[in-house]
Amino acid sequence: MSRRFVLTCFAVLTVSFVMRAQTDSLPVQALSTATHRAGISWVKLNDPYLSSLEYSGMGLRVELSEQRYLRATDKRFSMLNRLTGLAAITLNPASTAEIETVAGAYAFGVRYHYRPVDRLVIMPGGSLEADFGVRVNSRNVNNPVNLDIAGNLNATLGARYQLPVFRHTVLLDAFAEVPVVGIMFVPYPGLSYYEMYISKQLSEAIFLSSLHNRQGLKTGFSVDIPFRHSTLHAGWRYHLLKYRGNGPVVTFTEHSLLLGISYDVFRSSGRKSKFPAGYVKVL
């Protein structure tokens, strides 16, 4: 009886060790965490090329972002892709004229994950960003359209905290982003695009940007609340930007309230593949 019991225990332990070894030998996969969110923005704009007055109004903002570790076995570095869009209508103080704005931006960044204490991650890093926007003021007969084109190298800083709430974990996230150096297109007020093209002065509207002629700040706070089959994302975003070429200063201010979802993505490079048994998501 005791011999049979010993053999049974030995067999169970052997099978357990073999199964654990097989699980540990599975390749670790890096999951991408995607966040899709949209919301309302309150915008203030002063573009001297279109008008000397400050315009204010509301708009719709959409943001798509995706992040993952560069290597699944190294939790020190992660990458972030972000695509954003804004459509806004702003009015002058007398509400007699409006400026329509349609803008988009794409950014790619890398961050270092520093964990000073349990559940807290500090993420310094940098990003490359390309901005493109169109502003239209139909009341300006001579110069009704202005383009907002820029490329920036940004310094970024993020913080993330995992807050235990009952049997779930709520994710708190904050970030700040500052443009450091780049290039921008800023035409001089009063000179039309046609005149710049005919006189071959378009190149004079292109400037190297740094902290002396382009100051900005993007910052925000968000919370991810897990539910049974999905994760709710809610956030606040603030954007302040001031820049100038050879003329007056252009200013832009935006406050946004955003709502969306977050989910994990596993890519199999076009091949049919089951969800990996060993995976790592950005935390």
Report whether 20 contacts 278 (CB < 8 A): no
Torsion angle, alpha carbons of 205, 207, 211, 216, to 10: 50
Half-sphere exposure of 126 (CA within 13 A, CB side): 7
Torsion angle, alpha carbons of 140, 206, 128, 263, to 10: 20
- CA 48/CA 242 separation, integer angstroms: 12
Report whether 64 contacts 36 (CB < 8 A): yes
| Ordered alpha helix ranges (H), the chain | 2-25, 193-198
- CA 125/CA 150 separation, integer angstroms: 20
Look over the chain and give the mean of its residue pLDDT values, rounded to a whole number: 87
Half-sphere exposure of 229 (CA within 13 A, CB side): 0
Q: What pLDDT is recorded for position 24?
A: 47
User: pLDDT tens across 151-194, in order?
Assistant: 999 999 999 999 998 888 999 999 999 999 999 999 988 888 88
Verdict on whether the full-model pTM lies above 0.95: no
User: pLDDT tens across 240-269, in order?
Assistant: 999 999 889 999 999 999 999 998 876 655
* Percent of the chain clearing pLDDT 70 (strictly above): 84
β partners of residue 255: 42, 238
Question: Which comes out higher in pLDDT, residue 278 or 65?
Answer: 65
Q: What pLDDT is recorded for position 21?
A: 44
In the three-class reduction of DSSP (H, G, I as helix; E, B as strand; rest coil), residue 159 is classed as: strand
Longest dimension (CA), the chain: 102
